[in-house]
Amino acid sequence: MSDHKNQAFVRRLGFALAGLGHALRAERSLRTQAAVFVLVVAALIVLRPGALWWAAVMLASAAVLAAELFNTALEALADHLHPEQHPRIRIVKDCAAAAVLIASLGAVAVGIALAVHLLR
């Protein structure tokens, strides 16, 4: 097994992009979140809010995508280590899914705040 930590930056970036590519191919929920992200960016381009709104929306969007990727990684690891159903593994998976839900609700709240701001 190679040590990913001491590789050149470009090589480590390749590992990260490979993980992202795998997750996008394997997880419908991540593809959905990525599609929503593209729509959000398009909406920001059209609406042209200020830089702080861009930052807030991008940060919220990144949190959702990161939570989804952590959820995917954790589920894959749990399934690999313990393929059969187990109540404690179920709790781990449910908590990871809840993290995605919380991040998504936070992003929706930012979107609502932006809409209220733009309608004033």
Is residue 84 annotated as part of the catalytic site, yes or no?
Answer: no
Residue 107: closest CA among 48, 17, 43: 43
Residue 30: closest CA among 79, 67, 58: 67
Among candidate residues 27, 68, 75, 84, the one labeled active-site is 68
CA distances from 106 to 9, 56, 88, 90, 100 (A): 32, 11, 27, 24, 10
Q: Are 53 and 111 in contact (CB under 8 A)?
A: no
CA distance 106 to 109: 5
Active site residues: 68
